[in-house]
Amino acid sequence: MLGAGARPDYVTLIGLIFACSHAGLVESGRVHFESMEKVYGITPGPEHYSCMVDLLGRCGRVEEAVELLGRMDGEPDATVWKSLLAACRVHRNIPLAERAAECLFKLAPEDAVPYVMLANVYTAAGRWLDVARVRSLMRARGVSKEPGWSWMEEGGAVHAFKAGDRDHAQAKEIFAKVREMMQRIKEEGYAADTGFALHDEEEEGKAEELAVHSERLAVAFGLINSASHAYSPLKSSGYRDDNPQTEGGIYPSVLGLESLPSAKIKLCRGINSDQEEGEIGEIEGCRSSYPLRQDCASA
């Protein structure tokens, strides 16, 4: 872009830092962020700070992300606090998660996402009374979470799935395929991170809960039907952290799907479902939402 004589603008730099975040390029992202005012005369906005918080959070540098927020001109907005809360959820920083959630409750009182994310933080720590308190707070404030859906297009028809969905015409085959998938990836050494299941129950029950969320049902449907229709796009509704089952379920476990017969299934993943695409069986390793790549590993 610079070689062609074009200068990056406000939006271009958002995309650049965002790309560094999802590639794990910590130092590159920092250089681009720091160059905004010095080189291009562009004052970083909430979107740039949100990307930087996400970038640092992916590598566990949560306190550094907090220090960065202290440099903002003005108060962080909801997108910034959500990025911080997502990092706290993955790295299980409860005090900071509570601070971010309280700010979000004030900024976006009707948004269910921060409540669910905070409940997930407590769930991972086994703090069931706090989980119940968050749920009670949601009811008292009239906040409700829309159920997450995943869509798979096959043969020109769109098939929608929700967690535990048994209404599909191929439900029996789909659940059998899910069991097969779980057995195959278990043999590969995968174990579900049951800390993200939202109920205080036995580990086996939690693993079963994670096994039937919408994304895995959609993937199973795609595997069943992939022989007749090569490409089946998978998309999930809403902000990914809105689905408490996703983090411990589909995304880490997809790592084991390369061992299944090569299926041309497009998997959308990332904080929002449209941010990244790959093909199970053909992509170079599916990654969880907070990948540790070269810069992160050396950080």
Which whole number is the average pLDDT over 287-294?
Answer: 33
Confidence check: pLDDT of 297 > 90: no
CA 28 to chain centre: 22
Confidence check: pLDDT of 123 > 60: yes
CA torsion through residues 69, 75, 79, 82, sign? positive
Domain boundaries, the chain: 10-140, 149-294
The CATH label, of 1.25.40.10, 3.40.50.1820, 3.40.50.300, 2.60.120.200, for the domain at 10-140 is: 1.25.40.10
Work out the mean pLDDT of the chain and round it to a whole number. 73
Band the pLDDT of 227: cuts 50, 70, 90: low
For 62, 290, 292, the CA distances from 296, given in Å and listed in that order, are 13, 10, 5
Band the pLDDT of 4: cuts 50, 70, 90: confident
What is residue 159's predicted lDDT score, i.e. its pLDDT? 85
Band the pLDDT of 231: cuts 50, 70, 90: very low
Confidence check: pLDDT of 150 > 90: no
What is residue 6's predicted lDDT score, i.e. its pLDDT? 74
Which whole number is the average pLDDT over 73-96?
Answer: 90
Q: What token pair was written down for 99? A: 């601070």
Closest of 83, 20, 58, 23 to residue 33, by C-alpha: 20
> Phi, psi (5° rounding) for residue 235?
-135, 145
Band the pLDDT of 53: cuts 50, 70, 90: very high
* Pair 99, 256: CB distance under 8 Å: no
Query: Which tens digit of pLDDT belongs to each residue from 250-266?
Result: 444 443 344 444 444 44
Which whole number is the average pLDDT over 255-280?
Answer: 40
Band the pLDDT of 236: cuts 50, 70, 90: low
